[in-house]
């Protein structure tokens, strides 16, 4: 039986000549072009953060799924809306982790407007990520103060698959990571990002939440460096779909110094995910355009646009939340809900009927299906 792979102490960052640039250059151009096309699309969307919010939730779901959670985007939104009466506690815990991811990403993106991506900012995001969830006993917002390792639950360090940087070197390792992250003199920012993400995961500076936080770094760095105008690029779909290869490529860097193999894998992921993100964003834009027209025709209401804006921002919601928060007068809001929910071809679907003082919960299936990439409702 082979022992665990140990962190590549003293080898980060690799010297430029350690990377096989002839292998990487054919991927760098297409990756930059794909990201530019996606960002151009997003930048042209009015109120993109609202319109694309389901994609943010789906990213949180997939990033958390890599770490072992078992909850869908629809389930998260239902639980957030209060439709959790029949949901078991593990599922609620999973949903809470996903919702925290969304909060932490929003916080970090806003913080980048005033300060750079740094270990201190990540500590703040980590505190939000683990607030009130299963990791709350593992020092949210604090770097670890003892050696950790990765492997089957309950395994010893000798049975681990990977042992991160030794505790006594953690803070110097974070300093090196921060200096490299801030270095604008690197040959290419996307290759730099590949190494930044890899190194953070290899350092594993927290007791819990390292994987989710490390993947959160991807859109944050792209935004900080001006590659993207907003942190609306999500890569966990690619990484979750290739989970075993994702982990093995990272391990191989510490095992054999396979830096180029990792960077190639990461750049291929950027290209594939940019195309997928662009396709889904275009589908959402087309759906929004169609809904603006259909809701106006169906309701003949001056408030049709506000109704559409709301259901895109909250595709699962209790009816009182729509009435109170859509910006539409109460009687008009109630009438709009009836028109959108009833009839032969309803736009909204009731997923929990109202009963007594318990409100009905409605969903917008077409948007959920696009965000999840499959028919869920």
289-312 residue pLDDT tens: 999 999 999 999 999 999 999 999
- The two tokens of residue 254 are 């510490």
Low-confidence winner among 41-45, 65-69, 102-106 (lowest mean pLDDT): 65-69
User: 236 with 365, same domain?
Assistant: no
Number of structural domains (the chain) is 2
pLDDT of residue 189: 97
Which pLDDT score is estimated for 181? 98
CATH code for the domain of 198: 1.10.3290.10
- 106 plus 201 within the same structural domain: yes
Indicate the pLDDT class of residue 371, thresholds 50, 70 and 90. confident
pLDDT at 77 over 80: yes
Based on the fold, state whether residues 340 and 191 are members of the same structural domain.
no
CA distance 11 to 200: 14
Whether residues 135 and 244 fall in one domain = yes
Whole-number pLDDT of residue 343:
79
DSSP one-letter string for 229-297: SSS----HHHHHHTHHHHHHHHHHHHHH--HHHHHHHHHHHHHHHHHHHHHHHHHHHHHHHHHHHHHHH
The pTM of the full predicted model, rounded to 2 decimals, is 0.91
**Same domain (yes/no): 307, 175:** no
Which CATH number do you get for residue 365?
1.10.10
Q: What is the mean pLDDT of the chain?
A: 92
Is residue 249 located within the same domain as residue 113?
yes
Tokens representing 354 are: 């109202």
pLDDT of residue 344: 83
Containing structural domain, residue 61: 5-279
């Amino acid at each position: 039986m082979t022992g665990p792979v140990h962190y590549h102490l003293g080898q980060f960052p690799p010297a430029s000549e350690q990377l096989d640039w002839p292998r990487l250059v054919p991927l760098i151009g297409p990756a930059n072009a794909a990201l530019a096309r996606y960002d151009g699309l997003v930048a042209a969307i009015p109120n993109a953060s609202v319109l694309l919010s389901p994609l943010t939730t789906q990213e949180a779901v997939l990033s958390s799924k890599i770490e072992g959670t078992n909850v869908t985007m629809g389930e998260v939104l239902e639980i957030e809306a209060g439709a959790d009466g029949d949901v078991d506690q593990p599922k609620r815990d999973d949903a809470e982790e996903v919702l925290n991811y969304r909060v932490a990403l929003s916080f970090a993106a806003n913080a980048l407007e005033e300060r750079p991506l740094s270990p201190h900012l990540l500590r703040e995001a980590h505190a939000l990520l683990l607030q009130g969830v299963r990791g709350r006993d593992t020092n949210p917002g604090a770097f670890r103060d003892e050696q950790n390792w990765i492997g089957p639950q309950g395994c010893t360090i000798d049975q681990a698959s990977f042992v991160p940087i030794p505790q006594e070197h953690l803070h110097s390792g974070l300093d090196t990571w921060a200096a490299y992250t801030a270095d604008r003199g690197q040959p290419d920012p996307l290759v730099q990002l590949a190494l930044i993400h890899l190194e953070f995961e290899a350092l594993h500076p927290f007791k819990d939440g390292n994987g989710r936080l490390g993947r959160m770094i991807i859109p944050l760095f792209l935004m900080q460096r001006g590659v993207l105008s907003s942190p609306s690029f999500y890569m966990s779909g690619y990484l979750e779909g290739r989970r075993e290869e994702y982990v093995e490529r990272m391990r191989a860097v510490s095992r054999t110094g396979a830096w180029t193999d990792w960077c190639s894998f990461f750049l291929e992921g950027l290209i594939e995910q940019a195309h997928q993100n662009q396709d889904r964003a275009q589908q959402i834009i087309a759906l929004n355009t169609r809904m603006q027209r259909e809701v106006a025709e169906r309701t003949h209401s001056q408030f049709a646009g506000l109704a559409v804006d709301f259901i895109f921002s909250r595709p699962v919601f209790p009816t009182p939340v729509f009435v109170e928060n859509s910006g539409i007068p109460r009687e008009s809001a109630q009438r709009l809900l009836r028109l959108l929910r009833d009839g032969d071809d309803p736009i909204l679907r009731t997923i929990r009927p109202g009963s007594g003082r318990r409100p009905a919960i409605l969903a917008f299936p077409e948007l959920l299906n696009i965000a999840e990439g499959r028919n869920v409702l």
